[in-house]
Structure 1
Amino acid sequence: MAKDNGTVDWIVHILVKAVGGRIALIPWVFFVVTALLSGFGSVEPAAIAIIAPMGMGFSRRYGIRPLLMGLMVTNGATAGGFSPLSIFGTITNQVVERNDLPGSPLLLFLASFVFNVILGLVCFFLFGGREPLGKRDLGHGLEDKDGEPASGVGPGSADTGAGGSGGADGPAGGGPGGSPAPYHDPERRAARRSVQTTMVKDADEDVEITTFDLNRIVTLVGLIVLAVMVVPPLNQDVGFTAISIAVVISFFSPRISKGAVSKIAWPTALLVCGMGAPLFAALIICFIGAVVSAFASTTGILGALIPLAVPFLLTGSVSEIGLIIALAISSSVVDSSPFSTSGALVVANSPEDQRDKVFKQLMVWGFSMVVIAPIVTWLTFVVPGW
């Protein structure tokens, strides 16, 4: 519903304005928005399917590397993926509670969020995040920190593979015969401003995302109420509360809401019912989670692997909370693999001329996470014994 009535687009618009046109912060805007979506219960692939196309549009417009934007979107989805409201968090916490294990939903969420923020910083500096530092778009073209016209950032930059020719909406385009286009050309200024007034389809009419209408107000209030109702001291059932709020929202926008039910990932929701299997060792189970999740659904893997750890955890040999956190992070940060749903969505939404490159880079990054994430999380959360 939040996507269909334009609330998600409005949040993106507000956050882009909040960073003051700073190009280097735009990937972080999409990190935050995707984290919000997954944190409020959207399945990770669904959140990425909503945000990745918008993110790739911004990357083309401002010359941000598609790989960087894609990784920030996937890491953002994972960062919010273990909130008490989310699918991953619900699976993990219910399995822990069902097996009478000590757990901390808040610590699980915060540890996963901080880990993914740090991972986002690594991606930012590894994959070109420093290139647009100091560049801004204030609606009349890209400027550097001194207010001068910026170069090297935009669709015509070397990073985007456009050969420096630029486009109508880029900061480094060319005029007739390859000469630089006027910096204050009205068409180019209008194209840049379009990022701030993107149109979204609302039933049979176009509504600017800058419009804060009743539907969006009700949706935002509903999200806030949901967040308050399901945490202590209220501790209301997440599913019942979410459905109740959705019914209220649908009264205000029945035409928009009628299509939302069909977009719910019902197979994933039904998959959250109990599963069980034995366990062998803490580190091995983290590696199993990472390897399998790189090719399969993280939602299903978490529900299957955490019960595997129960016999091992009951021995008291390792920190129960530490192992659960390590397993949760190891199984989710590998979703940037192009063989997973999340990574495949990033590849599909990349510029066509860079799709093969993004696929190869995501494959290297995703499989490096298969090796690195289990070891780092095991050393950080399991070995210390806290």
Structure 2
Amino acid sequence: MSVEILSIIVLIVMFIIASIFPINLGIFGFVAAFIVGNLISGLEIEEIFSGFPASLFVILAGVTYLFSIAQTNGTIDLITQSGLRLVRGNIGLVPWIMFILSTLLTSVGAHGVASVAVFAPIALRLAAQNNINPLMMGIMVTQGAFAGSYSPINPVGVVVNGVLQSRDLPTAPGLLYLNALIFSVVFAGIIFVIFGGVRLLKKQLNRDVPHTSEIATTLEENTDIQEVTKITWYKGATLAGIVLMVIFTLVFDANIGFAAFTVGLVLALFSPREQSGVLARMPWAVILMISGIVTYVGVMEKIGTTEYLTHLIEKVGNPMIAALAASYIGGVISAFASTTGILAAILPMAAPILQDPTISAIGVITAICIASAIVDLSPFSTNGALLLANVQGVKERVFFRQILIFSIVIIATAPGIAWLVFVLIGIP
């Protein structure tokens, strides 16, 4: 067996084991990089270290650090409360408010899992108390998280664009974000109609349910943050800091990670006593996972695996079929493993398709990204698990079966639809 095939098998086994057992995929990545790269292929340790994504690490750590400060000091809950006031008692607007809030949160840099963790308890509680289909509500929350996940300042968007840039592959951060956002909005609209959302527009919130002014209690129970409705100078400074980070990044082309660290440090100096627990809130498991898998992918490149796969994809002959296959591979594996890790691994392997002048590179990238992220409702993913943990008024086994069946349908259809829209038809 060639070392190239062995490295691919190891990658697949890594994802399978990590999806079954609660072991961080990044640890598998680092160990595999050492065994496959050094012990089997004879690479020097320095060569393995060169594959560590130092720039990506700074970006991810910086953005999540700033977001952790915003979550700890109550700024995120302030944003949530302000959005919930827009409901004005109409049940039919609740799912869309959750969708919009989740989208906004991920669009400004929050990880999708963090967004679902914040809104799932509130959304599913409201669903149980107002006879809203919990599956529909859960889908709206996770789709909102997906809608903003490819923002240029979201960790997932950062990973995708960073992987593409590091390999001199075509990039269009703004267009990728817009494509994913529009696709998610249309998908959410279809789900809203299918699950009876239209009839909900004629109903008002249950009188026994806390209205928007009282939902702060629910937020406090889930975030341990007091007085979420009260704006303070520190929350105002945090909001201004997030805006400044966005401006520095998009207007002045500053490094996102360093810009976020700078704003975060200033906020920390403003109120040192409020920094307790900030670092603990950061998604270190996600950062470790990304660092490990990208390091291993770097080893795969050095031993020739990427080139090997390139030749295989070239043999397909039809770039359209190759793009469709890549979309389904991303969708199927992502339903059981990390979306970010899958994208970090599969995008470099799709290089031959992206460099083919007869096909839209951004269309292929969009199709793969959408196919890999839209299945995050799977009960085997973190988002799906969060929904299962917070559902009310429905037996967990029943809700699990509903999510599982829906996930199978999405896995079977969504990658093909994304490929049809963005690759075959070529929109935009």
- Structure 1 residue 119: Cα displacement: 1.0
How many Å separate the matches in 2 of 1:72 and 1:130? Answer: 14
The answer to whether 1:268 aligns with 2:336 is: no
For residues 136-285 of structure 1, the aligned pairs below 5 Å read: 136-137=204-205, 142=207, 169-170=208-209, 191-192=210-211, 195-198=214-217, 207-231=226-250, 233-270=251-288, 271-272=290-291, 273=294, 275=297, 277=306, 278-279=309-310, 280=313, 281-285=322-326
The answer to whether 1:322 aligns with 2:322 is: no
How many Å separate the matches in 2 of 1:29 and 1:105? Answer: 26
Q: Give 2:66's aligned residue.
A: none
For residues 87-126 of structure 1, the aligned pairs below 5 Å read: 87-126=155-194
Q: Kindly tell me: are residues 206 and 11 of structure 1, through their superposed partners in 2, closer, same or farther at Cα, counting changes over 3 Å?
A: closer
Q: Secondary structure at the match of 2:261?
A: helix
Q: Secondary structure at the match of 2:226?
A: strand
Number of positions where the alignment pairs a residue of Structure 1 with one of Structure 2 = 334
Flag structure 2 segments of 5+ consecutive residues without an equivalent: 1-68, 314-321
Amino acid at match of 1:67: L
Q: Secondary structure at the match of 2:71?
A: coil
How many Å separate the matches in 2 of 1:199 and 1:296? Answer: 30
Q: Give 1:22's aligned residue.
A: 90
Q: Give 1:286's aligned residue.
A: 327
2:134 pairs, out of 66, 77, 94, with: 66
Amino acid at match of 1:334: V
Q: Secondary structure at the match of 1:54?
A: helix
Q: Secondary structure at the match of 2:197?
A: coil
Q: Secondary structure at the match of 2:200?
A: coil
- Structure 1 residue 120: Cα displacement: 0.8
Q: Secondary structure at the match of 1:21?
A: coil
Contact 2:72 2:225 (8 Å CA) reproduced: no
- Give the stretch that moved more between structures: 85-94 or 353-362: 353-362
Q: Secondary structure at the match of 1:334?
A: coil
How many Å separate the matches in 2 of 1:195 and 1:124? Answer: 26
How many Å separate the matches in 2 of 1:226 and 1:255? Answer: 23
Amino acid at match of 1:243: F
How many Å separate the matches in 1 of 2:391 and 2:145? Answer: 18
Contact 1:199 1:209 (8 Å CA) reproduced: no
Contact 1:200 1:208 (8 Å CA) reproduced: no
Q: Give 2:75's aligned residue.
A: 7
**Which of structures 1 and 2 has the larger relative contact order (alpha carbons within 8 angstroms, sep 6+)?**
2
Contact 2:331 2:415 (8 Å CA) reproduced: yes
Q: Give 1:76's aligned residue.
A: 144
- Structure 1 residue 200: Cα displacement: 5.4
How many Å separate the matches in 1 of 2:183 and 2:242? Answer: 25
- Structure 1 residue 192: Cα displacement: 4.3
- Structure 1 residue 40: Cα displacement: 2.3
How many Å separate the matches in 2 of 1:253 and 1:61? Answer: 39
Structure having the larger proportion of residues in helix: 2
- Structure 1 residue 92: Cα displacement: 1.2
Q: Give 1:338's aligned residue.
A: 379
- Structure 1 residue 294: Cα displacement: 0.4
- Percent identity over paired residues: 36
How many Å separate the matches in 2 of 1:200 and 1:340? Answer: 24
Q: Secondary structure at the match of 1:315?
A: coil
Q: Kindly tell me: are residues 235 and 304 of structure 1, through their superposed partners in 2, closer, same or farther at Cα, counting changes over 3 Å?
A: same
Q: Kindly tell me: are residues 6 and 63 of structure 1, through their superposed partners in 2, closer, same or farther at Cα, counting changes over 3 Å?
A: farther
The one-character-per-residue Cα deviations of 1:39-60 (angstroms, maximum 9, x if unpaired) are: 2222222221122112222223
Contact 2:106 2:145 (8 Å CA) reproduced: yes
Q: Give 1:180's aligned residue.
A: none
Contact 1:6 1:200 (8 Å CA) reproduced: no
Flag structure 1 segments of 5+ consecutive residues without an equivalent: 143-168, 171-190
How many Å separate the matches in 1 of 2:212 and 2:239? Answer: 26
Q: Kindly tell me: are residues 77 and 192 of structure 1, through their superposed partners in 2, closer, same or farther at Cα, counting changes over 3 Å?
A: closer
1:364 pairs, out of 382, 400, 405, with: 405
TM-score by length of 2: 0.73
1:300 pairs, out of 337, 341, 359, with: 341
RMSD over equivalenced CA pairs, Å: 2.2
- Structure 1 residue 102: Cα displacement: 2.3
Amino acid at match of 1:219: T
Q: Secondary structure at the match of 1:335?
A: coil
